Structure formats: C-alpha cells, structure tokens
C-alpha cells in the first residue's frame, strides 16, 4: 500500500514538473479552476495546458491570440460539466474548439466569450467552432454589429446560443454549413432595431426556441419567418421597450410545432381588430403579461388559438368588461393567471361563471392581488355549484378566510395540512379560526337556492343530477340498440318470435294421423 502511495505522489510530481515553473497559469486551492492570465508573467506564450490536471473550469485573460487545438491533449472525464471562459481575448484561431477536444458523450461543455464589464472587438476566425457538440455558447459585450457565422464550421451542434449586451444588428449568412442550434437568445442588445428575413441567421430552421428580449426592436418586417421551414416550439419576444406595433403578417404559413407564444412586457399599442393569429394556432402556452388586454381580446386571439392550455394575463390592464364576449369555450384549458390586473370583481365573477359553465376538468385560476368579498357570495356559490371542486382558486396568502374561501377550500383542507407546498391562504392552517357556516351565509345573502349540503363528499346537486341523467340516457341507448339488433335478426331469419300464431310441428301431425288409423 505504501508503495502505491509513493508511486502516485511520484507521478504527480512528474506532471507538475513537466509544466513550466514560470507559468502564466495557476490552479485554485481545490484544483477545480485553472486560470491563465498574461498579467501573471511577462511572457504571453501559453504553456501546454494538458500538463495540468483536468479541471472543471478553464479561464483565459488578456491574451492576444489563442492557438488552434489548444485543448487537444486534455483528458476530459465522464459525467462532468466543463466551462471555458475567454475574457479580453483579441483573436481566436480556427479549430480552437474542434473535434480535437475529446469530450465524452455524457459530459457537457459550456463556452463563455467576453465579459459584461469589458467590451470586446474580438476576431473569431473561420471554423473556430468545428465538429463539436457545445451545450452552452455565450457571447458577452461584443462590439461587432454583424456576427460572422463563418466562425461556425461543419457538423456543429449547439444546444443554447446566447448573445448578451452585444451591439448585434444582424448575422452574415453568405456561407451555409451544417449547423444545428436548438435555442437562440438575444438579450440586452441596444442596437438591434428591426427583424427582417435578411438579418436573421441561416440556422433559423434548426431552432426549437427563439427569444428576443430587452432590445431596441421597433420593427418586424412582413414575411420575416417562413413557417414551412421552421420547427419552432417557443417564440418569445418580450420587454422590448420600443415595440409598439406587432404586425399581423410577420409569419408566412403556420408554426405547426409551436407550444409557447410570449409577448409579455412589450408596449404594444396597436393590433388590427382582424389580426391574423392563425400562424400561431397550435400554441398551448400564451403569455401576455403587462399588456393592454383590450387589444388582444378584441383581436379574437383566444378564439383563434383552440389548443390553449395555459394563459398568463397577469399584470395586464383592461378598460371594459370583455369576459362574456371574448372568452370562448376552451376545452383544453388547464390554468389562467389574471393576478395583479385591474379586473373588477364583477369581471372576475363573469370569468369564473363562464369557466364553471364550460369545463369538465380541473382548472387553476390565479387571482393574486384580488379580494373576493362575501357581498357577492351568491354569485360565487352558483359558480361552485356549476363546477364543484373543479375550479382551484389561487389567492394571496394573506387573503382572509371568509365564506368564499371556506366554500372553495373546504374539501382541500386535508391536502393542505399534508402538503405545505400547496398554494392557499395561510389562515386555513389556523384551526382556531371562526369557520363560516355556508347554510347560514346562504340565508343571510338571500341566495336563490336551498340545495346546499355540508357533506364532505358532496359534488353538488346539479352535478349529481347530471350524472343520473347521463346514466339513464346511456341505458336507453343500450336498450334501443339491443331491440334494433334483435329486429334485424328476426328479419334475416324471416321468423316471427311472438306466440300469437304458434308454428305447427309436422311430426306431431303425423303421429296424430297414425293414431286415428289404428
């Protein structure tokens, strides 16, 4: 055992002795980060990186140029996350990041180029990223207005590509190569003012998500996106302070795979009343946070998107009650968020009434920032009767436990006590609170019903009646079907099965005749 220990120590000494003693690179205390900086030494020549032990993070500062195949002899381990950071680098040579990096399939590589505090005019040569899988490629604070996609080589796969705080205005697309990028995010880019078919990247057809946020975007030109060539699942254009118009014809065709459409926090002031939402008709998740809801509802967006499952209208504002006329029957709806909006309680009641009359499954309704008052108890009771226990109201934790809360949460108290993660008013956990008697409140509020029962397993008289009626109808249909089948069998056999006219047995007639002759 002592021999093996001595042998390992000897090998480590050999490794470290192989590295230059006057190195530009240093390991941190726990040997997980290797930092190379020209400020550490007078020379600018990089040592052989592979002479150092394998680490999870490599950081390079203040180099004039990074050579090709810099990481070629590094042994990358299985099931690891590796990060390479390049800060204040002038030139990155071709094939710096290429298949010379022997990365195991179950390990992931992130590359971060630039720094938020240091602007850069970095030159990235042709095929710098070539024949390699990159999980995360992040460009920061680049002054280049045109990103030259020629730096992307062949057989390049990038899961997430981010441009942050860059002066980016367009992508050069003069060379087309086999590049696959799943997610593209452009954010905090003050020079990006318009989107056109010409300034979008050539790898757009490979994207499953495209996000543009916190830019100077003002104009999206017509026909910028050709849907038949796209596989977009997420289309996110948010928080662009100059985007006041969202044109109707920016997409040609229908985005067949679209799951998420997010237009939150854009100051959109104009939408045509006959806006063409058809290109987004497969959307399942719609986010319109902090928007003028009148514009979107009057454009019939909800009626044009039949597959909606989740709707987020939080922090939006509305000038009139459009709940009755512009909320269609949404059979796939799972949740809707109208938290912190200026909806009046009358609008909320109209929304809940509509949902209670059309749903047959559970729906989460987020109402944070709103108070439900007992003065409108009769309306809420009718809503509860329409869809008993199907509408899950999610309110502020500080909401008082009035009769409405008792009504909608009474069958969930056991779940709340068993699961602290459930969202609910905290007063429900107070066992000493004065509980509302629903029957008494019905009387006090003079509600036009006497069908309430306080049984914990009640599902509502209307629901029970509906179930009974459904069973009766089903039985009648089965009986009708049975008689029809029997009638067809009779017709096929040409036989009347009634006993009004018995069929004479010929054998009996013969026996009777022989007895008479005896």
53 band by pLDDT with thresholds 50, 70 and 90? confident
d(CA 261, CA 267) in angstroms, rounded, equals 16
CB neighbour list of residue 394: distance below 8 Å, 6 or more residues apart = 364, 365, 366, 367, 368, 423, 424
3 band by pLDDT with thresholds 50, 70 and 90? very low
103 pLDDT exceeds 60?
Answer: yes
157 pLDDT exceeds 70?
Answer: yes
d(CA 120, CA 414) in angstroms, rounded, equals 59
Q: Where are the domains of the chain?
A: 12-192, 371-459
- Mean of the pLDDT values across residues 469-483? 63
pLDDT tens-digit profile of 325-358? Answer: 888 999 999 999 999 999 999 999 999 999 999 9
- Mean of the pLDDT values across residues 140-164? 95
Is the overall model pTM greater than 0.85, yes or no?
Answer: no
CB 31 within 8 A of CB 54: no
β-strands 33-37, 57-61: how paired? Answer: parallel
pLDDT of the residue at 480: 66
pLDDT tens-digit profile of 169-204? Answer: 999 876 677 899 999 999 999 999 999 999 999 999
Helix, strand, coil proportions of the chain in percent (round to 5)?
Answer: 30, 20, 50
How many Cα atoms occupy the beta-carbon half-sphere of 493 within 13 Å? 9
- Mean of the pLDDT values across residues 200-211? 96
For residue 251, what is the enclosing H or E element?
strand 251-252
296 pLDDT exceeds 70?
Answer: yes
């Amino acid at each position: 055992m002592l021999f093996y220990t001595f042998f390992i120590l000897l090998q480590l000494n050999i490794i470290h002795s192989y590295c230059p003693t006057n190195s530009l690179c240093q390991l941190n205390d726990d040997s997980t980060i290797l930092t190379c900086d020209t400020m550490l030494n007078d020379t600018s020549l990089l040592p052989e990186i592979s002479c150092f032990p394998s680490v999870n993070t490599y950081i390079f500062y203040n180099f004039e140029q990074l050579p090709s195949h810099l990481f070629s002899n590094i042994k990358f381990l299985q099931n690891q996350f590796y990060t390479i950071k390049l800060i204040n680098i002038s030139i990155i040579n071709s094939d710096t990041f290429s298949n010379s990096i022997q990365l195991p399939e179950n390990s992931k590589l992130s590359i971060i180029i630039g720094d938020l505090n240091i602007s850069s005019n970095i030159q990235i040569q042709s095929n710098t990223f070539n024949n390699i899988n990159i999980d995360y490629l992040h460009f920061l604070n680049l002054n280049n207005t045109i990103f030259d996609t020629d730096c992307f080589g062949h057989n390049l796969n990038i899961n997430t590509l981010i441009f942050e705080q860059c002066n980016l205005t367009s992508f050069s697309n003069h060379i087309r190569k086999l590049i696959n990028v799943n997610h593209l995010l452009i954010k905090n880019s003050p020079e990006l003012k318009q989107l056109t078919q010409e300034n979008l990247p050539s790898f757009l057809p490979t994207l499953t998500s495209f996000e543009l946020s916190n830019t100077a975007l003002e104009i999206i030109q017509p026909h910028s996106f050709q849907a038949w060539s796209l596989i977009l699942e997420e289309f996110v254009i948010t928080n662009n302070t100059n985007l006041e118009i969202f044109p109707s014809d920016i997409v040609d065709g229908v985005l067949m795979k679209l799951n998420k459409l997010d237009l939150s926090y854009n100051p959109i002031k104009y939408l045509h009343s006959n806006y063409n939402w058809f290109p987004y008709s497969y959307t399942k998740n719609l986010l319109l946070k902090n928007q003028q809801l009148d514009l979107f509802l009057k454009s019939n967006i909800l009626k044009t998107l039949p597959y909606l499952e989740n709707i987020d209208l939080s922090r939006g504002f509305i000038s009139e009650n459009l709940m009755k006329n512009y909320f269609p029957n949404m059979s796939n709806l799972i949740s809707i968020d109208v938290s912190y909006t200026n909806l009046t309680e009358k609008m909320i009641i109209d929304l809940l009434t509509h949902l209670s009359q059309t749903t047959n499954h559970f729906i989460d309704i987020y109402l944070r920032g709103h108070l439900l008052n007992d003065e409108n108890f009769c309306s809420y009771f009718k809503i509860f009767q329409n869809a008993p226990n199907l509408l899950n109201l999610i309110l502020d934790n500080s909401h008082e436990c009035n009769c409405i809360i008792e009504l909608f949460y009474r069958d969930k108290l056991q779940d709340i006590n068993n699961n602290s993660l459930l969202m609910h008013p905290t007063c429900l956990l107070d066992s000493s609170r004065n509980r509302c008697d629903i029957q008494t409140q019905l009387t006090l509020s003079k509600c036009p019903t006497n069908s309430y029962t306080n049984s914990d397993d009640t599902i509502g008289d209307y629901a029970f009646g509906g179930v009974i009626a459904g069973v009766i109808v089903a039985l009648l249909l089965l009986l009708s079907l049975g008689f029809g089948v029997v009638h067809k069998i009779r017709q096929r056999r040409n036989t009347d099965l009634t006993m009004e006219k018995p069929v004479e047995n010929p054998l009996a007639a013969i026996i009777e005749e022989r007895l008479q002759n005896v």
